[in-house]
Structure 1
Amino acid sequence: MSARRTRAISASERTGVLQPANLARFDARWIVPPDDVREIVDTYWAVRWHLDAGESIAQRIIDHPSVTFSIEHGDVDAPFVVTSARSHAWTRTLAGRGDVFAIRLRPAGLAVLSDLDPASLGPEQELTAALDARAHALLERIASAPDPARRAELADALVRARLAERPLRASQRIANAALEALTAQPHVQRIHDVAALLGTSERTLQRALRTHVGRGPGEIARRIRLQEVVRCLSVADGDIAGIAVDLGYVDQAHLTNEFRRVAGVTPGAYVEALARTQAALRGPAA
């Protein structure tokens, strides 16, 4: 695999990780899918950790509005997991040692790789053969590869084969295009304008996203925007008012209320906690 396909996940990126400084404490990498599988796979990512006895990392996350399949090994709850977007920030606690290889799907991907209904998925559940034989068989095959790079290459081949079996329908392409447009422009925007940009109706856009992601466009847009708020708060010296203006919020209070509903804290309290975490990781001053 070309070295250009894999790179470390940076603390300055839009990941939704609420303690981005923790990314330096374990190996976390993006693996970019090739162009011919990008209609199905948004990205692969891989994480590996080996912590001292008694040590743990509680990682709070506002997740991307997508469905993810993961292959997990070590001190984990299940070997295969499927997750969908949660309504609120959630916590993944890492302890001991382990690794995860994940496939974050584009909206079109779930119907190609599985028989799951996104509207019926819980936030996180074990992906068993009983839950979905098609997706389970896929992950079993990918898990047979020995490392993330070769898992990604095997996943590429399997995704191509699954896509040949189930070519994309028009609604899947609309859902892909909608999520791409919302991700590219995370500021507040009217769904009517997004639909017009894509040359479709608002009703068709809403139906496509609910069918293939299990969420409506407004909820998806808010989640992407909050991920961008997290990124900005971690790199912009806590300028909450400036971030509100840049992202098109009515005012700072609108941003604060939206952030608090999902993250459980105000942006100001989050910035203060972030500063304490960063200071603790730096250690005592000389």
Structure 2
Amino acid sequence: MVTPAGAGHVSTRDDVERAHLVDPADHTFEIARSGPSPDVADLVRRFWMPVWDVPDGAASEQRVLQYPVCLVVVSNTYARLYGVSRGTSATTLTGRGWAVGVMLQPAAGHLVSGVPVRRLTDRHVDLADRSLVPAVDGARLTGRLRQVMSPDPTDPSAQAEARDLVEDALRPLLPVDDEGRLVNALVEHVETSPGLLRVDELCERFGLGERSLQRLLHKRIGLGPKWLIRRRRLQEAADRLRDPDAGLATIAAELGYADQAHFTRDFRLATGLTPGGFAARFR
């Protein structure tokens, strides 16, 4: 009998941190994280605000096993709306800089972009381009965020003002439509149900046929239900692999993999790292 995924495991990391495939030896950055105001919780999951200082001639690659949501990121040099990445999303940090990152809810990508989110899968668009991001005045938001953050991006009051600016820009999208609330609930169920391993179980839970579920997820998050379930398992794996006492075979079994080889193949395809290689960073 397969043990339900993650049974008996309680993580001390938050949902953003465990998806960040960080090298613990990299001390070139710090990240402030916070939740949204309650009234925009249907649109925004989390804020994260990294500040980095990378020595001259060096670079710091940040790889994230992204959640099934679109992201808005405004930095001192760029402003983008990101679709979901099937593998990992990678950003290379150099010099000094900062960013205001917004992890949207599954419902919000379609509302911000005005198109089926599958068109954004594995790509990003310029936040200031109103033809690509019609629902938000990205140029105005970018300018105001840079004005607030540039003097001191580590200042908590500047970070709070930046959050307020983003939330004010998104509030006109409320209330979230019925389909959006459904996709929020679907994704939340997958992410909080470690024993869920099959698409038919998800269909039964929400009273949807598999084709209807496929269409809904491709429209609102850009990828299908099998990917959604597999991504949750891999994020849980990345979390578990940080534990120096965890064994690969045990993790594979508890996440519902038939064997360790299957687990290793899945993890390497998604992250570019073997589970053992990732775990070695924390030993």
Q: TM-score scaled to structure 2, two decimals?
A: 0.81
Residue 234 of structure 1, aligned match among 239, 242, 259: 242
Stretches of structure 1 lacking an aligned partner (at least 5 in a row): 1-8, 279-286
1:5 aligned residue: none
Residue pairs, 1:180-195, within 5 angstroms: 180-186=188-194, 189-195=197-203
Q: 3-state DSSP class of the match of 2:51?
A: strand
Deviations 1:132-176 (A, max 9, x none): 25255146326514132111112223322221xxx4333222211
1:42 aligned residue: 45
2:119 aligned residue: 120
- Structure richer in helix, relative to its length: 1
1:70 aligned residue: 73
Tell me if structure 2 keeps the 8 A contact 1:12–1:234: no
Tell me if structure 1 keeps the 8 A contact 2:127–2:138: no
Deviations 1:34-84 (A, max 9, x none): 2221111111111111223223212222222211111111xx4xx211212
Tell me if structure 2 keeps the 8 A contact 1:188–1:248: no
Tell me if structure 2 keeps the 8 A contact 1:62–1:89: yes
Residue pairs, 1:221-260, within 5 angstroms: 221-260=229-268
Instruction: Choose 172-181 or 112-121, whichever is displaced more.
Output: 112-121
2:31 aligned residue: 28
Q: 3-state DSSP class of the match of 1:110?
A: helix
Partner Cα distance (1:188, 1:267) in 2: 22
Tell me if structure 2 keeps the 8 A contact 1:68–1:84: yes
Q: 3-state DSSP class of the match of 2:66?
A: coil
Q: 3-state DSSP class of the match of 2:216?
A: helix
Partner Cα distance (2:14, 2:236) in 1: 12
Offset at residue 238 of structure 1 (A): 4.5
Offset at residue 24 of structure 1 (A): 4.8
2:171 aligned residue: 160
* Residue 225 of structure 2 corresponds to residue 213 of structure 1: no
Deviations 1:207-239 (A, max 9, x none): 211111111011122122211111110124341
Tell me if structure 1 keeps the 8 A contact 2:21–2:63: yes
Q: TM-score scaled to structure 1, two decimals?
A: 0.80
1:283 aligned residue: none
Partner Cα distance (1:12, 1:127) in 2: 25
Q: Counterpart of 1:268 in structure 2: which amino acid? A: G
Q: Counterpart of 1:228 in structure 2: which amino acid? A: E
Tell me if structure 1 keeps the 8 A contact 2:190–2:196: no
1:92 aligned residue: 91
Offset at residue 254 of structure 1 (A): 1.9
1:284 aligned residue: none
Offset at residue 100 of structure 1 (A): 0.8
Tell me if structure 1 keeps the 8 A contact 2:116–2:218: no
Distance 1:258 1:199, change over 3 A: same
1:129 aligned residue: 129
Instruction: Choose 10-19 or 113-122, whichever is displaced more.
Output: 10-19
Tell me if structure 2 keeps the 8 A contact 1:177–1:198: no
Partner Cα distance (2:26, 2:201) in 1: 36
Partner Cα distance (1:197, 1:189) in 2: 13
Instruction: Choose 173-182 or 45-54, whichever is displaced more.
Output: 45-54
